[in-house]
């Protein structure tokens, strides 16, 4: 696919289904993401791939984060939150900005670099024929969720990416 065609044809998937990217395709997507520009060559991004039981653990932590926010959160609402994470067929990727205190490269530039890395991944996924949903919401800002994926409270979850075959 030509670059301008990839850009023009890329859009957020409304939903995704099986199959998701293979391990080799996922590796290609992460390599594309890692080619993003970033001031100081810090590579401030971390892409955390959550499959199988890791995805289910993440879904539970996300539901708990919502309950932290709303004390009267019911078990039915907790399950709806878990389903939001389970909506991708096999892969959820948390795209994270791991902050470094470097005066020459302010935090905003580090976060924007992660956004550029995410865009590279989105374009690469489109080129391979996959759809992606970019989500944030409560999980992206929760210290509990950040800790669950190995981040410090002042790091950032920039995107929770759901990958799979576009459902038309």
Say whether 136 sits in a helix, a strand or coil: coil
Check whether domain 3-166 has CATH 3.50.50.60, yes or no? no
- The model's pLDDT over 100-158, given as tens digits with 9 standing for 90+, comes to 999 999 999 999 999 999 999 999 999 999 999 999 988 899 999 999 999 999 999 99
Distances (CA, A) of 90 to 33, 87, 114: 19, 9, 23
CB 132 within 8 A of CB 63: no
Give the separation between CA 8 and CA 125, rounded to whole angstroms: 14
- The model's pLDDT over 14-35, given as tens digits with 9 standing for 90+, comes to 999 999 999 999 999 999 999 9
For the record, the structure tokens of 100 come out as: 């470094």
């Amino acid at each position: 696919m030509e670059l301008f065609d990839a850009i023009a044809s890329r859009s957020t998937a409304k939903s995704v289904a099986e199959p998701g990217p293979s391990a080799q395709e996922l590796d290609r997507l992460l390599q594309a993401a890692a080619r993003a520009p970033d001031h100081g060559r810090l590579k401030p991004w971390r892409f955390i791939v959550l499959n199988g039981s890791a995805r289910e653990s993440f879904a539970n932590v996300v539901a708990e984060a919502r309950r932290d926010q709303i004390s009267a959160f019911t078990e039915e609402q907790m399950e709806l939150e878990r389903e939001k994470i389970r909506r991708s067929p096999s892969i959820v990727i948390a795209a994270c900005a791991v902050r470094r205190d470097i005066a020459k490269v302010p935090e905003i530039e580090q976060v924007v670099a992660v956004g550029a890395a995410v865009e590279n991944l989105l374009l690469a996924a489109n080129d391979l024929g996959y759809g992606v949903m970019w989500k944030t919401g409560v999980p992206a800002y929760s210290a509990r969720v950040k800790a669950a994926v190995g981040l410090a409270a002042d790091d950032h979850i920039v995107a929770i990416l759901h990958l799979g075959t576009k459902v038309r």
